A and B are shown apart, each in its own frame.
Chain A
Amino acid sequence: MDFDFTEDQKHLQQEARRFLSANCGTARVRQVLDEPDTPFDAELWTAMADLGWQGAILPEAYGGSGMGATDLCAIAEELGRAVNPTPFASSVYAFAEAVNLLGSEQQKSRILPHIASGHQIGCIATAEGAGRPDLECAFVDSSITGRKVPVTDGDVADWAIALANDSHGESLYLIELKRHGVSTSTLPTLDPTRSCAEIKFAGASAAPLGEAGSGKALLQKIHDRAAVFVAFEQLGGAEAALATAQDYAQQRYAFGRAIGSFQAVKHKLARIYVANQIARSNCYFGAWALESQSEELPRAAAAARIAATRAFQLAASEMIEIFGGIGTTWETDCHLFYRRAKQLSLFLGPINMWKERLAAEIEKQWAHADSHGGNL
């Protein structure tokens, strides 16, 4: 039994935490929050690239470091803790992983080295408006037409992966964004520390990615992989929110005593701790499934995603309650967590979609076990 980060991974994580507390304190996050013209922290982005994080798990042949998925999970937890104001999730967890998984040799060698070096950014463009409307983007005559909205980091990205209708059904396409036929406009969101855009394609040139007609299933694969890394970011955010609330509850006095001595406050903190532990355990299982290329990845990813989303949203909202009135002001950092918790809960699809997906996996798992007369 070795169900934990290794000593090396713990060391990597400590190094990441040290780096981020020096280079990504909340003051830095606030610069992006307060300046509408700053979509992300470019200086931090470059420093991260110098450490090799954008290419951490990409193969060395494409400019990466060839580390394991769990290594990146360890870093992701720290990026979440720091509420990092960068397009890391879009570019690394979703886009680079997708290209590495599905791309042709030519696509990989053309694109991935630039992603690994941080010189280019990728994103994933899936939504087409509120709810789950029918897919309208279409690939006709080797170009793509349609609208994707919202696209996280779409305004700062050089590349996008988009799903479109074509003669095979639904397929994935790679699109270079700073080209003719593509227009992007930045959109205001609940979390200004992350960027977001509407992208319009009007006959933009696009290259197929992965097997034609299998777009939906492939997108799900991309989501499963990305969800594990994002879950670690959510876990890190939840742990940071808990730690901040803990500190405050010990320092803030009311009725002649620290508010952390009141059971009502203790029990709130205990509930957050419980949710975080459940999230951590499910996240570890996700990391294991990813790294070991297990068939259980869809179930593990959904469980990690649900547990971590729940934990971060609980921690971020209860943290404000524990802070009281001051927690609702722009000056305190509580809202950085509150905003990011919501942002990450919607990125890669909402929680009810992941719950449905988990239910389907549970159904499969137990239908299979029962047909073999399996034991508990």
Chain B
Amino acid sequence: MNFHDTEHEASYRQKAINFLEQHAERKVIGQPGISSCLSPQALLKAAKEWQALKADHDFACISWSKEWGGPGGSAIESVIFAQEEQQFDIPEGIFQVSLGVCMPSIIKLGSEELKNRFVKPALRGEEIWCQLFSEPAAGSDLAGIRTRAESTSSGWVVNGQKVWTSNAHLSDFGLLLTRTDPTVVKHSGLTMFWVDMQTPGIEVRPINQISGQSGFNEVYFTDVKIPDSQRISDVGGGWKAALGTLATERLAIGGAKGADCRELVALASQLPCDTGTVLKDPQFRQKLADWYVNSEGINLTRMRALTTLSRGGTPGPEMSIAKLVMAEQLQQLCDYAMDLQAEFGIINSPDISEQAAVFQKGWLKAPGSRIAGGTDEILMNVIAERVLGMPGEIRVDKNRPFNELPVGI
């Protein structure tokens, strides 16, 4: 039982640190990073430059084979680099879907021609991809999508609406899940395509979130013409293709980032109360201990998954708990941190609020974190069914054609 790198891992880690130290600055506690300081345009530019730089030094998509422009490294190398990279203040949040979700699917499902055309530019950050899956009436129940792709003599015509599409406004291309046959049961009537986001008939509208940010979009499709050559699953084989993509998504999203124990202790050590500072308040200390045990528990669980990787195995389901635990904790911890500030907690200004408003920000972000990448409830179903072997839900939609299912709002 130890945390030591193998000799090879240690030398790889050193190589990563050398690269990072040469090209980036380390994060400083209590100071907002460049990802939250730059304008959206400047962040996009910086992110693309960083990605290209990583590609030049063999640190982009480390576990991808040389054939697809990666350095052909191991999964553990990829994790080691990510561990070190997160200590540095680099532009974040642009390529997660593109490289973590879409490209692995293209590599798995696409034709040789398609892969030759798209994988390398995506890896270098020159082109960005989005995932056009969720719809207003199909979130947790993704197979319930209604966006129609109808076959014509010259290909397909798509009509419908997607939603929660991260970075659609920045994306050049998208992976699109459609319904091609509503007369069969819902999982059988789906087909996947790739689409150029500049295709006539596609309209991207940003969604304003409660945090005031707009990371997501609605994407409308009106008579969008797509040639059959852009189909990347069998007709009716879209669900199977999508399942592979979703599995990668859960890995890519990981834990929820935001205020945690460190920030809470920083706040408490400065806040006055009857017993001196809040840090000395027994009730505070009991809560801190509980949250700390969770955070450490998740970090250490990651170490266990890494160990499996390091021993050449495939990590088990343990990491599925990370987002569930940390998103819920983000909400509760931020809420408590604002209570500690008394009336002052209501103020939401990076300049005036305690700890540069990190708790107010986390509190507004947390509801979304508990939903994105699988709601708390869906994640618990996944744990219960796939890990603990509980029987699946009794389904009322399983053996009926999609167009005969009851619909609500």
User: Is A42 positioned at the interface, with any CB of B under 8 Å from its CB?
Assistant: no
User: Is B393 positioned at the interface, with any CB of A under 8 Å from its CB?
Assistant: yes
A242 to B311, CA, bound (A): 28
A263-B381, A277-B297 are known contacts. Are A291 and B289 too (CB-CB below 8 A)? no
Most buried by A among B262, B301, B385, B387: B301
Q: Is the CB of A362 within 8 A of B300?
A: no
Q: Pick the contact of A376: B29, B289, B297 (CB < 8 A).
A: B29
- Convert B337-365 into 0s and 1s, putting 1 for each residue whose CB lies closer than 8 angstroms to a CB of A: 00000000000000000000000000000
Interface size on A, as a range, is 35 or more
A3-B2, A70-B1, A375-B29 are known contacts. Are A281 and B303 too (CB-CB below 8 A)? yes
User: Is B397 positioned at the interface, with any CB of A under 8 Å from its CB?
Assistant: no
User: Shortest beta-carbon distance, A279 to chain B, in Å?
Assistant: 7
User: Is A187 positioned at the interface, with any CB of B under 8 Å from its CB?
Assistant: no
User: Shortest beta-carbon distance, A301 to chain B, in Å?
Assistant: 12
Q: Is the CB of B4 within 8 A of A2?
A: yes
- Convert B301-322 into 0s and 1s, putting 1 for each residue whose CB lies closer than 8 angstroms to a CB of A: 1011011101100000010010
A258-B391, A366-B262 are known contacts. Are A352 and B306 too (CB-CB below 8 A)? no
Q: Is the CB of B3 within 8 A of A359?
A: no
Q: Is the CB of A281 within 8 A of B304?
A: yes
Q: Which partner residue on chain B sits nearest A273 by CB separation?
A: B383
Q: Is the CB of B388 within 8 A of A358?
A: no
Q: How many of chain B's residues have a CB under 8 angstroms from any CB in A?
A: 58
A292 to B1, CA, bound (A): 9
User: Shortest beta-carbon distance, B162 to chain A, in Å?
Assistant: 27
User: Shortest beta-carbon distance, A130 to chain B, in Å?
Assistant: 19
User: Shortest beta-carbon distance, B115 to chain A, in Å?
Assistant: 32
User: Shortest beta-carbon distance, A313 to chain B, in Å?
Assistant: 13
Segment of B51-59, B151-159, B200-208, B279-287 engaged in the interface with chain A: B279-287
User: Shortest beta-carbon distance, B10 to chain A, in Å?
Assistant: 10
A269 to B321, CA, bound (A): 13
Q: Is the CB of A281 within 8 A of B288?
A: no
Residues of B within 8 A of A (CB): 1-6, 9, 26-29, 76, 87, 261-262, 265, 279, 282, 285-286, 288-290, 292-294, 296-301, 303-304, 306-308, 310-311, 318, 321, 324-325, 377, 379-381, 383-385, 387-394
User: Can you list 23 contacts pairing A with B, beta carbon distance less than 8 Å?
Assistant: A1-B9, A1-B76, A3-B303, A5-B1, A261-B393, A265-B390, A266-B380, A266-B388, A269-B388, A269-B390, A274-B321, A277-B297, A277-B321, A281-B297, A281-B300, A292-B2, A310-B293, A354-B289, A356-B286, A362-B292, A366-B265, A376-B29, A376-B87
Known: A3-B1, A281-B298, A307-B297. 16 other contacts (CB 8 A): A1-B3, A1-B76, A257-B394, A266-B390, A267-B381, A277-B321, A278-B301, A281-B299, A281-B300, A284-B304, A288-B2, A310-B293, A355-B285, A356-B285, A356-B289, A375-B27
